[in-house]
Amino acid sequence: MSTDPLNHSQFEEGTTLDRFLLETLRGHPEATGQFVTLINQVTLAAKLVSARVNRAGLANMFGATGTMNIQGEFVQKMDLYANETFKRAIEHAGVVCMMVSEEEEEIIQIPPPFSPGHYVFCMDPLDGSSNIDTNASIGTIFCIFRRKSEGGPGKPEDALRCGRDLVAAGYIVYGAGTVLVLSTGRGVHGFTLDPTVGEFFLSHHDIRLDPTARTYSCNEAYSATWDQRLGSWLATTKDPATGWSARYIGSLVGDFHRNLVKGGVFLYPPSQKAPKGKLRLLYEAFPLAFLAEQAGGAATDGHGPILDRTLTSLHERTPLYIGNAETVQEITRLLTTPA
């Protein structure tokens, strides 16, 4: 039998996320337990958000708060709930020196009396929340760095990092079921929440992007103002002879999860409406790019790998082309070859 703790044969039915993490870290005697604790707190918050999302229509949690966030987007009631829930679940555990959230302009310091830890936690607490009233899949996206600064409160340089510094990334998709997808740099694995016992169980071991899948996912309404080389690629791809099909939910986690599990490519190019692209580099593109590469796929900004980028401002936006490596590289070649 393989000695690799991640070899699926060692995980019988009913492997919890907790056991999977402990098996994973067995090869790291230097581990202090802070990482496992951080993920355990993430799963606690995920269970609370999942329960609230599932009852949003009954708990007066539909709709907007009437306020606008720093992104210029109307804050949904569920956005605030998710942001507070993840912050409260993590801040007291002594495992992060600071957090960054899509919902907050500045870095989030760890309040006294709690002590800072080794990690930096960056999140979009509830992406796609405007879809919640339609019962479409929405999700939490997160990524984790080890702190760069030495001790004390976290500093901006702890978050203004290169994507290659990431130590872990994941998302929780609140859909027909609640699934947490996680990578710590040794493959991508999915865990499904069994709400009857309140545990996440291993359900998708070592997810690999299907390189043969022919599904593209984008908001075609903006394609008239895309780079014309991309417009040509889309027109060619839509030729029935190619066998491609289209799927688009308009909720990044739902669209990405489908591509991860079934294969395909997701595009959010610059357009007249979003000249720098719409999605955020730190807590949307970085984590999904980490997962895509770990699953055998690729992610670029149209020039080069997303993970080669270094963040210059917390909420900066980026174009995103992510999914099957061959298609992502074809699109990138198109966009880096003079028209």
For binding to ligand P6P (CB under 6 A), which residues are involved?
127-128, 130, 219, 250-252, 255, 278
Closer by beta carbon to ligand P6P, 35 or else 290: 290
CB of 213 vs ligand P6P, minimal distance in Å:
19
Closer by beta carbon to ligand P6P, 130 or else 327: 130
Closer by beta carbon to ligand P6P, 125 or else 128: 128
C-alpha–C-alpha distance, residues 118 and 35, integer Å: 8
Closer by beta carbon to ligand P6P, 211 or else 250: 250
CB of 297 vs ligand P6P, minimal distance in Å:
17
Closer by beta carbon to ligand P6P, 192 or else 219: 219
Structure tokens at 150: 């030495």
Closer by beta carbon to ligand P6P, 3 or else 67: 67
CB of 75 vs ligand P6P, minimal distance in Å:
12
CB of 128 vs ligand P6P, minimal distance in Å:
4
Closer by beta carbon to ligand P6P, 202 or else 331: 331
- Residue where the block lists tokens 């405007």: 130
Closer by beta carbon to ligand P6P, 161 or else 278: 278
- Residue where the block lists tokens 């708990």: 59
Can you point out the beta strands (E) in the chain?
A: 64-68, 74-76, 96-101, 108-109, 119-127, 138-146, 168-174, 178-183, 189-194, 199-204, 215-217, 245-246, 265-268, 279-280, 298-300, 317-318, 320-323
**Amino acid identity at 168:** A
DSSP 324: -
C-alpha–C-alpha distance, residues 252 and 173, integer Å: 10
Q: Answer for the pair 231, 242: CB distance below 8 angstroms, yes or no.
A: no
CB of 266 vs ligand P6P, minimal distance in Å:
8
Best CA proximity match to 279, nearest among 303, 260, 298, 252: 252
* 244-253 exposure pattern, b = at least 16 Cβ within 10 A, e = fewer: beeebbebbb
Q: Which 3-state string (H, E, C) describes 76-108? A: EHHHHHHHHHHHHHHHCCCCEEEEEECCCCCCE
CB of 321 vs ligand P6P, minimal distance in Å:
13
CB of 127 vs ligand P6P, minimal distance in Å:
5
Q: Answer for the pair 263, 213: CB distance below 8 angstroms, yes or no.
A: yes
Structure tokens at 157: 């340089």
CB of 126 vs ligand P6P, minimal distance in Å:
10
Q: Answer for the pair 102, 287: CB distance below 8 angstroms, yes or no.
A: no
Q: Answer for the pair 248, 128: CB distance below 8 angstroms, yes or no.
A: no
How many other CB atoms are found less than 10 A from the CB of residue 333?
10
CB of 222 vs ligand P6P, minimal distance in Å:
7
Closer by beta carbon to ligand P6P, 21 or else 320: 320
